[in-house]
Amino acid sequence: MSLFFLSCKDENENLVAFAYDPEVVPSMITDTVTTLISDSGITRYKLVADVWEVFDKAKDPYWYFPEGIYLERFTPDFSIEATVKADTAWYYSEKDLWKLKQNVHVENMQGEEFDSDELFWDQRNQRVYSDKYIEIKRGITEIKGYGFESNQSMTDYHIFRPHDGKLPFSEGTPADTLQSDSLSPEILPPAETGDVEPLHERK
């Protein structure tokens, strides 16, 4: 009996205390992801990513794609409505909001191309927007400027502050272009931690 208690005491002394922080430690990590996502029972998206991290135990659950993402959005007849690429992405499930960061490239069904350093895709309100610099190519025509809003098919869009000249991508917005209140504050995204849930068919 004495030996048993001594043995238990030694084992407990060798334990290492571990504090699990669900805000920074993912509950799941998956490599090389290719999956289809349904919306109201209809397959609407294809998602491809090298790394997919799920933080579904965080206060505001989110998915994180640290090594980039590729998305295809389908029409009801399974034609590709738009494609999206980005170096980094977050998905906030409770808000149904995507944050796409660095080398964001979008193409719509008409072959128009959209390039920016940051875009937000609000699926709940079927809206895409940004306050960063953006370039839009339509054949040989280019439209450039700061601040952008569109429907999620990227076919009906508006640049708030168009520019004729070439402007570099930048983290900041020049003071003489888009003002910080150009986008209504209630739709601005949260910080780079947020809502995400495992891939499944959305209700």
53/66 Cα distance (integer angstroms): 8
For 191-201, how does the pLDDT look when each residue is reduced to its tens digit (9 = 90+)?
Answer: 444 444 433 44
- Give yes or no for a contact between 201 and 166, defined as CB atoms under 8 angstroms apart: no
* Six token digits for residue 192: 């780079």
Residue 172's identity, in one-letter code, is: G
Q: Are 194 and 60 in contact (CB under 8 A)?
A: yes
CA 121 to chain centre: 7
Residue 172 in domain: yes
Q: How many domains does the chain have?
A: 1
Residue 95 placed within a domain: yes
21 belongs to a structural domain: yes
- Does a structural domain hold residue 203? no
Residue 32 has pLDDT above 70, yes or no: yes
Domain that holds residue 78: 2-176
Assigned domain for 110 exists = yes
55: in domain: yes
Tell me the pLDDT tens digit for each residue of 54-84: 998 888 899 999 999 999 988 888 888 899 9
Note whether residue 200 is domain-resident.
Answer: no
Q: Quickly state the pLDDT bin for 167 (edges 50, 70, 90).
A: very low
Domain annotation covers residue 157: yes
Q: In CATH, what number is assigned to the domain containing residue 107?
A: 2.60.450.10
Residue type (1 letter), 44: R
User: How would DSSP label each residue in the chain?
Assistant: -HHHHHHHHHHHHT-------TTTS-SEEEEEEEEEEEETTEEEEEEEEEEEEEETTSSS-EEEETT-EEEEEE-TTS-EEEEEEESEEEEETTTTEEEEEEEEEEEETT--EEEEEEEEEETTTTEEEEEEEEEEEETTEEEEEEEEEEETTSSSEEEEEEESS-----SS--TTS--TTSS-GGGS---S------S--B-
- Model confidence at 117, pLDDT cuts 50, 70, 90, reads very high
Would strands 62-65 and 80-86 be described as parallel, antiparallel, or unpaired?
Answer: unpaired
Q: What is the pLDDT of residue 11?
A: 54
